[in-house]
Chain A
Amino acid sequence: MNVPAAWYLVVGALLFGVGAYGLLTRRSALIMFMCIELMLNAVNLTFVTFSRTLSDVAGQASVFFVMVVAAAEVTVGLGIVVAVFRRRASTSIDEMSELHG
């Protein structure tokens, strides 16, 4: 398993880029949450790769906490999506424009 760490880091960067592009272009709130999950997973992959490279378990502990925060974020975020959907019958973020100037 001696693949160089740079390969995994490049995959992590590409995954982060794909997630960021989806977050910037898609308009469904559900898909945007999935793209946030993609970006979080890219960061997790980078953490684990550096953890292996530096032989330090602190990176894996960080991934553990990122997973907990991601679970909490998805729970609250999907609750917000459901609450908004009940009022607007849509998950498109373009329709949530009451606060624009």
Chain B
Amino acid sequence: MIAAAYSAAGVLVFVTASTLILVGAIGVIAVKNPVHAAISLIVTLFGVAVAFVAQSADFLAAVQIIVYAGAIVVLFLFVIMFLGVDRRDDVRVEALVGQRPLALAGVLITIAGLITLMARSHWVTGATSVSTTGAPLATGQGNVRQLGTAVFTTDLFAFEATAVLLIIAVVGAVLLARRERRVDDTFDDERNVEVSS
């Protein structure tokens, strides 16, 4: 079980993907400007998409780019622009006493627990050899076919539930973002209130 036993291309893809993922993630939590954080988030999402492709999840990699980098991050950027770019979060001021050491300790315990759990269980080693029932994961069009079959047969109820969830989310977002007129709402300027009424 040494690194040289694995193919050089696989190791290279893994190193690239994990570098993108971790650098982007640290960028999200370290930078002050929210726009830069959103750009770092794109780097992380792209790294995760590379890891998806490397593990024969081609369709999910495409969806990752389209939905996350194409829709969710754009939504983030839209809200940042809408609220004002220059509002920066001062990362140096600690609001609560001991918040960061406690957060760091909790996170380290969580990571150590996860890695210990993975190392001591038999999920990682030997599971491939005993899993001979289902067809092996395909790539490309075969991956889309397998995933579509799973989503539209065994997970059909969950799929329909996500349709309902998306409708509810759209209605809720419209309701939240709608500008309603109030007497005590001093933040609204008069022009927009007149336009919307």
A binding-site residues for B, Cβ under 8 Å: 1-11, 13-22, 24-28, 30-31, 33-35, 37-38, 41, 44-45, 48-58, 60-61, 63-65, 67-76, 78-83, 85-87, 89-92, 94
Contact = CB atoms under 8 A, between A and B. Distances in A.
Given A3-B6, A60-B57, 10 more contacts: A21-B107, A31-B34, A38-B44, A48-B55, A56-B131, A58-B154, A63-B57, A65-B155, A65-B159, A72-B168
A55 B128 contact: yes
A3 B18 CA distance: 12
Contact of B124 (A4, A14, A80): A4
A52 to B, nearest CB: 4
A91 B21 CA distance: 26
B13 A1 contact: yes
A72 B166 contact: yes
B80 A30 contact: yes
A87 B57 contact: no
A15 B22 contact: yes
Contact of B75 (A16, A18, A25, A75): A75
Given A11-B18, A51-B137, A91-B83, A75 B107 contact: no
A3 B158 contact: no
Contacts of B143: 60
Nearest to B118: A9
A67 B63 CA distance: 9
A61 B34 contact: no
Nearest to B182: A87
Given A22-B28, A31-B37, A94 B95 contact: yes
28 contacts: A1-B54, A4-B6, A7-B14, A11-B51, A14-B22, A14-B111, A15-B21, A19-B25, A20-B103, A22-B25, A24-B106, A28-B89, A35-B28, A37-B41, A41-B44, A45-B51, A45-B52, A49-B55, A52-B57, A57-B146, A60-B150, A61-B154, A67-B64, A69-B162, A79-B172, A79-B177, A82-B176, A91-B83
